[in-house]
Amino acid sequence: MDCIDHVTPQQSSEHLAAAARTSKRCRMFRANAHKDGNARFPGVKPDRALVCGRVSLLGCDILKPKSKRRTRITGVEAMNALDILQIEHACTKLAIRYANCLDTFDDDGVIGLFAPDGVWNHTSQGAMRGHDVIRAYLATRDQNTLVRHVMSNFEVDVISPTQAKGRSYWTAFLATDYVPGKISPVDAPFSIGEYADEYVCIDGRWHFATRTMNHLFGKLHAIVQGAISPSTMTAACRTGDSSCAWRNASGR
């Protein structure tokens, strides 16, 4: 540990006095150093020992030896709080934008939220990879329905400046007898579930790398159990036809 050779005993005492007035830790250290300063620093007077490798001239910080190896900090450890907050906001906004585009049948908007090789793990369609496959599925949805996805419980974990993961819940409401300009009667949610997402930043914009659906609750399940009258659903849904308005419109 390097010493400050040009400091005189008088100067060291002055610095010690200033440090001792501002820190209890310095006062305790001064007392101990006066007792065994020569043992710790052979040939050096106690007052100088306090400055030589022990007490900073600018305060009372105890100096630490310089590390011979420097660890390169990467990933989220290298990011400040504002960077992390901005990524969390961008990914949360991505999930909200997804629901809004899906509900308004904005197919281009939905597709643009996925990375070029992004994967949408769908409940009924399985894994859909890439924009072309996702576009083909979206084109099959029945637009003569009113559907709204209410998103909640957003949680985003930042992994690096270009990677993150997250989860959120959806609650979907559907009106199969929708008439434009009229208020549709509200009923219990048709489906409730959660999304597990992986996000990636490409050219400064965040996208879904993967979006996985986990369907937890739904009226379709209740029909199977006999809790809901089949008359409340379309004929296609009752028979399990792929043209089921609820399934196609809600993205289930």
Give the DSSP H or E segment for 238. Answer: helix 235-239
Q: Where are the domains of the chain?
A: 1-70, 75-250
Q: What is the pTM of this model?
A: 0.59
Helices and strands of the chain, counted as H and E runs: 9, 6
* Dist. CA 140–CA 249, nearest whole Å: 9
75-250: CATH topology is Nuclear Transport Factor 2; Chain: A, (3.10.450)
Q: Which pLDDT does position 137 carry in this prediction?
A: 96
* Dist. CA 238–CA 220, nearest whole Å: 9
Question: What band does 73 get if pLDDT is binned at 50, 70 and 90?
Answer: low
Tokens 């100088």, located at residue: 48
> Which residues share a beta bridge with 170?
151, 193
Q: What is the pLDDT of residues 40-58, one digit of tens each?
A: 545 544 444 344 344 343 3
Strands (E), the chain: 114-122, 126-129, 146-160, 163-175, 191-202, 205-218
Q: What is the pLDDT of residues 183-229, one digit of tens each?
A: 888 888 989 999 999 999 999 999 999 999 999 998 654 444 444 43
Residue 127: partners with Cβ closer than 8 Å, 6 or more residues away: 119, 120, 121
Evaluate if residue 81 carries a pLDDT over 80: yes
